[in-house]
Structures are given as C-alpha cells and as structure tokens.
Amino acid sequence: MTNFMTAIEITKSGDADVLKPRQIQLPQIKDDEVLIKVAAAGVNRPDIMQRTGMYPAPKGASEIPGLEISGGIIEMGPDVSGWAIGDQICGLVAGGGYAEYCTIPANQCLPIPQGLTLVEAAALPETFFTVWSNVFDRGALKAEEIFMVHGGTSGIGTAAIQMAKAFGATVITTSGSDEKAAFCAELGADLSINYKSQDFAEEVKKFTGGKGVNVLLDMVAGDYMKRNFMVMAVEGRIVMIAVLRGPKVKANILPIMLKRLTFTGSTLRARETAFKADIAQNLRTKVWPLIEQGKIKPIISKVVALKDAAKAHKFLEGGNNMGKIVLKVSE
C-alpha cells in the first residue's frame, strides 16, 4: 500500500475555491482506531464553517475537512475488538473525511445498514448522530409529542423528520419554497410550512390549536428566536445546533419563565470519544433496524467526485439541496 493519498486541503480561509486536492501522507492509527479506505464522505455545514475559518478542527484532529465516512477497514490498532480487516463501516470522525484514507475510533464505527450502498451510508453518521443526541437525548422527545425542525430539506432536517415520525411524534417543519415544503410532507411531516409565504408561528398555532410545540430543533437563531418562543408549548424544549441567521438575538425571554421552557444547545465535533460511542450504540440498536426495515432512509441530493469538493460546497451554499451531498472517493 502506498504511503501517500489524495486529500482535500483548505489552503487558506475563504470561498469554496480554496479547497484543493493534494498528495499527503496517510494518517497513522492510534491503538483504539481503525484505518478506513474511504469509499464516500458526507458534506456538511460545519465543513463550510471550517473552510471559512469559523470552526477550526479540535485539538489533535485532522485539519482535512469531513466529519463522516464510509468504507472498508484495512488496518486496526491493538486495542480494537469487534471489527475485522475487510469489514465495511460508516462512522463519525472529528476531521479527515475528504481523503482516500481516514482514521476513526473503532467505537464510533457502525455497520453499513443492510440494503444501503456505501455512498448512501456515508450520508448517515453526522446527521443521525446529531439528531439522536439533540432531539432524543437532550430534547427528550417522546411518542405523541409535537416536534418541529427548521430547515426541513437539509441533511439534519430530512433525518429529523423521519426519525421523529418513526418514534411516534407529530412533525412540523419549515423550508423555503412550495417544492421543498411538498418534499418534507412526502418524508412524513404532518405540517410543512413555506416560511417565505407563511408565518410559521401563526401556522403552528392553528395546527396545534394553540397548544404549541414540545421539542424544537433550531439551526437558524437570529430573528427566528422571537417566534421560536411563541410556538413552544408549556414545558417545551428548544435545542440549538446552528446559527445560520446569526448568533446575536434580541427577543423577549419572558416566555421561558411563563412556559417553563428548557433552552439548550450543543456541538458534537469536540465531544469525547466515549460520548460519541454511546450515541453510536443507540443508533445501532434503535435506528439501524428502522433503516433496514425501510422506515428511515438517507436522503441524498447530489453525489460529487472527491476532486470536485469545491463544487459540492458551492452547491450546499446555494441552498438548493434537498438532502445530503456526498463525495464519492473510490469504488
């Protein structure tokens, strides 16, 4: 095996064209890691934030972008158990996914769900880990509750709609066109709102009979916060995972007290391996069977060659995707 590989480097902070293919040395595995010959890698908003200098890799992580991969195990550290050379996996990484080879802690690996291709499996980890951690662990969504997610056609949105619906929740989502709203409805959303032509707070009020939303997953922040507070039910939980409209908010926070709301948030990339391993185990036992039964599926909007990572970023930044964008690395 060669000691060099093609990887996509961020040559400097800037627009998508700063992403360049480079020949670099293969990464070295740690005792608890496996080395993957990457078949495909997912493209996500945090990759764009890293590229623009807003979300640096955690200490010790690869500077190569890419948070999720699929492929085959070609080398294992001495402390690894439960896997074998040749096993095909998908998994969550803290960086290094945009490359022909990538290391990953063994306990952050998951088997490829039966019936999925490696390209489809690469679209799972980052979004499914994020949704499970924030909607079901932090947000404590329960069956028969009302769940809402902004950005319904994003990778996170498409996963959240399906997962919440599969676990018995009523699902509300917002998106930016009638076409996208219809797409979310097809995925299972009970109320799909076009935020450009409808006031989502009014639509939620009508749909819920004034009761409101039990769990809201928000990636928007900014000027959405005032209406986010308005749509919440008593004892509701708001979970923030991104700030696409900016982190600074001017809003009346009295509803937090009057409705006894929980307002929380998280990031996943810098969390410890044990935390991510626990999510992986929950996904394997509770979600992977639903994927194999066809009740949940990865939604892929576009597949792009690794060398064209800049084009993938431009497509995602254009906001026209309905589902995930995946880089195809090898056969």
At residue 214, the pLDDT reads 98
**pTM of the full predicted structure?**
0.96
Query: Is there a single domain that holds both residue 213 and residue 247?
Result: yes
Query: Is there a single domain that holds both residue 240 and residue 288?
Result: no
At residue 1 the predicted structure's pLDDT band, cuts being 50, 70 and 90, is low
> What is the mean predicted confidence (pLDDT) over 12-17?
97
Where is the domain boundary, 265, 300, 315? Answer: 265
Where is the domain boundary, 243, 265, 287? Answer: 265
At residue 278, the pLDDT reads 97
Query: Is there a single domain that holds both residue 209 and residue 182?
Result: yes
Where is the domain boundary, 215, 238, 265? Answer: 265
- 31-45, pLDDT tens digit by residue? 999 999 999 999 999
- 271-292, pLDDT tens digit by residue? 999 999 999 999 999 999 999 9
Question: Which CATH number does the domain housing residue 169 bear?
Answer: 3.40.50.720
The DSSP string of 289-308 is HHHHTTSS---EEEEEEGGG
At residue 129 the predicted structure's pLDDT band, cuts being 50, 70 and 90, is very high
At residue 321 the predicted structure's pLDDT band, cuts being 50, 70 and 90, is very high
Spatial separation of the C-alpha atoms in residues 317 and 181, rounded to whole Å? 19
140 backbone φψ class: left, alpha, beta (φ>0; ψ -120 to 50): left
Query: Is there a single domain that holds both residue 48 and residue 156?
Result: no
Query: Is there a single domain that holds both residue 169 and residue 250?
Result: yes
Query: Is there a single domain that holds both residue 159 and residue 108?
Result: no
- 57-96, pLDDT tens digit by residue? 999 999 999 999 999 999 999 999 999 999 999 999 999 9
Which is more confidently placed, 236 or 245? 236
Question: Which CATH number does the domain housing residue 111 bear?
Answer: 3.90.180.10
Q: How many CB atoms are closer than 10 A to CB 165?
A: 18
The domain total for the chain is 2
Query: Is there a single domain that holds both residue 142 and residue 224?
Result: yes
Report the 3 state secondary structure along the chain.
CCCEEEEEEECCCCCHHHEEEEEEECCCCCCCEEEEEEEEEEECHHHHHHHCCCCCCCCCCCCCCCCEEEEEEEEECCCCCCCCCCCEEEEECCCCCCECEEEEEHHHEEECCCCCCHHHHCCCHHHHHHHHHHHHHHCCCCCCCEEEECCCCCHHHHHHHHHHHHCCCEEEEEECCHHHHHHHHHHCCCEEEECCCCCHHHHHHHHHCCCCEEEEEECCCHHHHHHHHHHEEEEEEEEECCCCCCCCCCCCCHHHHHCCCEEEECCCCCCCHHHHHHHHHHHHHHHHHHHHCCCCCCCEEEEEEHHHHHHHHHHHHHCCCCCEEEEECCC
Query: Is there a single domain that holds both residue 287 and residue 251?
Result: no
Query: Is there a single domain that holds both residue 118 and residue 185?
Result: no
Contact 306, 329 (CB under 8 A): yes
User: Which residues, other chains included, contact 275 with Cβ-Cβ below 8 Å and sequence gap of 6+?
Assistant: none
Query: Is there a single domain that holds both residue 255 and residue 239?
Result: yes
At residue 244, the pLDDT reads 85
Spatial separation of the C-alpha atoms in residues 121 and 40, rounded to whole Å? 8
Query: Is there a single domain that holds both residue 258 and residue 185?
Result: yes
At residue 296, the pLDDT reads 97
Q: How many CB atoms are closer than 10 A to CB 22?
A: 13
Angle (nearest 5°) at CA 294 between 292 and 297: 90
Q: Which domain range does residue 304 map to?
A: 4-124+269-328
Query: Is there a single domain that holds both residue 47 and residue 66?
Result: yes
CA 256 to chain centre: 27
Beta-strand relationship, 19-25 and 4-10 = antiparallel
